[in-house]
Amino acid sequence: MNMMKTAMLIAFMTALFMGVGYLIGGTGGMMIAFVIALAMNAFSYWNSDKMVLRMHNAVEVDRKNAPEYYGIVEALAGRAGLPMPKVYLIESDQPNAFATGRNPENAAVAATTGLLHRLSREEVAGVMAHELAHVQNRDTLTMTVTATLAGAISMLGNFAFFFGGSRDNNNPFGFIGVLVAMIVAPFAAMIVQMAISRTREYSADRRGAEICGNPEWLASALKKIAIAAGRTVNVAAERNPATAHMFIINPLNGERADSLFSTHPDTENRIRALMAMAAEMDAPAAPPVPQPKAEPARPAQAEKPARSGSSGIPKTGPKWGRGDDKGPWG
């Protein structure tokens, strides 16, 4: 089902790309855009993850140079039954993270230095579990390819003014077509990105909470990230806004409203959903049916979610989240 949705999305984005070409250069422009879109789709399938990681200057780390961060991802991947993804670090004060890759066998997760410095070990585990949920749900290919094509559509729209106004081309709409290409096409691509992110974040939150074993870890992390993201500039994200929907929290602004124009669901709504999930996990189980001539059994308590120290998350190395230390990256 996810593969079908991905195929339909890529087809839509390709059609949108061709539409921009038609508005700029008529039938000839549409055919050129079609050829470019086919090439970009093929390239994006195999290389979009590398492109996004390069856009954000992500550096691959391993057990030797990032033992605790790597160890957390390794433990969570094992709990989720996933292959070990590649692990990347992004130099940015803004706490944030994303996942990418065309499938679970070729996945990568990336976190910023700000995330490791500002959050506790358990909160980092909640965030990385969320990203692994995207990998497990096979959201990463859709989100990464969409980012690539949306960026290309926006760029083509920006160039429309310079290349679409000539009377010598086959543009049937003239300057009006150019204006539509400049304004409507990038806006449509943005709406598609928003729809993708908003519909997938809730399911990734829930599955991520299941992977790490405690919804409160992710809820606490989301609150801290949302506050810090609105106060800290992510330079790479500002330069590449088409990738904003890939992050766990919008890296571009402190958007709070759960509206049509937000790339992510409202953080408070996400936190409420996670806390409701935590309450369900803590709720007592239904009492068993009383046996004849026996006192009614007391309600049995459901097993509580895993707490710190019982989740398999590595406990070695420096603690994170204290205001007086710099975290594992010095």
Residue 131 among the catalytic residues: yes
pLDDT at 65: 94
Of the pLDDT bands very low, low, confident and very high (cuts 50, 70, 90), residue 225 is very high
What are the backbone angles phi and psi of residue 73, rounded to the nearest 5°?
Answer: -60, -40
Give the pLDDT confidence of 19-50 residue by residue, as tens digits: 777 766 667 767 777 777 777 767 767 777 88
Those residues with Cβ within 8 angstroms of residue 183's Cβ, 6 or more apart along the chain or in another chain: 157
DSSP state of 245: G
Distance from chain centroid for Cα 74: 19
pLDDT at 291: 45
Token pair for residue 270? 């996400």
User: Would the pLDDT of 151 be above 80?
Assistant: no
> CA nearest 199: which of 280, 120, 258?
258
Across the chain, mean pLDDT equals: 76
Of the pLDDT bands very low, low, confident and very high (cuts 50, 70, 90), residue 252 is confident
Asked if residue 273 lies in contact with residue 218, where contact means CB atoms within 8 angstroms, the answer is no
User: Would the pLDDT of 322 be above 70?
Assistant: no
User: Would the pLDDT of 308 be above 50?
Assistant: no
pLDDT average, residue stretch 197-209? 86
pLDDT at 330: 34
User: Would the pLDDT of 304 be above 50?
Assistant: no
Please say whether the dihedral angle defined by the alpha carbons of residues 166, 171, 172 and 174, taken in this order, is positive or negative.
Answer: negative
Q: Which of 122, 123, 131, 216 is the catalytic position?
A: 131
pLDDT at 106: 93
Give the pLDDT confidence of 98-150 residue by residue, as tens digits: 999 888 999 999 999 999 999 999 999 999 999 999 999 888 877 766 766 66
DSSP state of 329: G
pLDDT at 17: 72
pLDDT at 173: 55
Distances (CA, A) of 152 to 162, 197, 289: 16, 19, 62
**How large is the angle between the packed helices 174-212 and 139-163, nearest 10 degrees?**
160
> CA nearest 108: which of 51, 192, 190, 40?
51
Highest mean pLDDT among 170-174, 277-281, 313-317: 277-281
Distances (CA, A) of 135 to 224, 244, 246: 23, 17, 12
User: Would the pLDDT of 185 be above 80?
Assistant: no
pLDDT at 194: 62
- What pTM does this model have? 0.71
Asked if residue 99 lies in contact with residue 135, where contact means CB atoms within 8 angstroms, the answer is yes
By the 10 Å C-beta count (0-12 exposed, 13-18 middle, 19+ buried), 250 is classed as buried
User: Would the pLDDT of 165 be above 90?
Assistant: no
Return the domain boundaries, the chain.
Answer: 2-54+139-280
